[in-house]
Amino acid sequence: MPLTCQQLLTQYPNQWQAATVHPFLTQCQQGSIQAAQFNTWLVQDYHFVIEFTRFAANLIQAAPTAHLDILLGGIIALKDELTWFQAKATERQLNLNQALQPTCKTYCQFMAGLTQQPYPVKATAFWAIELAYNQGWQGHSPMPAPYAEFADRWGNAAFTTYVELLAQQADSALQDTDETTQAQAETAFLTIARLEKDFWQMAYEGS
Q: How confident is the model at residue 207 (pLDDT cuts 50, 70, 90)?
A: low
SS3 readout for the chain: CCCCHHHHHHHCHHHHHHHHCCHHHHHHHHCCCCHHHHHHHHHHHHHHHHHHHHHHHHHHHHCCHHHHHHHHHHHHHHHHHHHHHHHHHHHCCCCCCCCCCHHHHHHHHHHHHHCCCCHHHHHHHHHHHHHHHHHHHHCCCCCCCCCHHHHHHHHCHHHHHHHHHHHHHHHHHHCCCCHHHHHHHHHHHHHHHHHHHHHHHHHHHCC
Q: Is residue 30 part of a domain?
A: no
Say which of 51, 149, 179, 196 is annotated catalytic.
196
Binding residues for substrate: 45, 81, 130
Q: What is the 3-state secondary structure (H, E, C) of 94-129?
A: CCCCCCCCHHHHHHHHHHHHHCCCCHHHHHHHHHHH
Domain for residue 44, yes or no? yes
Any domain includes 28 = no
Is 181 a domain residue?
yes
pLDDT band of residue 139 (cuts 50, 70, 90) is very high
> For residue 101, what are the domain limits?
5-21+35-203
Which residue positions form the known binding site? 45, 81, 130
Give me the mean pLDDT over the 146-152 stretch: 96
Looking at residue 85, which CATH number applies to its domain? 1.20.910.10
- CA gap 36, 26 in Å, rounded: 16
- State yes or no: is 186 an active-site residue: no
Number of domains in the chain: 1
Each residue's pLDDT tens digit, 39-95: 999 999 999 999 999 999 999 999 999 999 999 999 999 999 999 999 999 999 999
In a domain, 165, yes or no: yes
29 within a domain of the structure (yes/no)? no
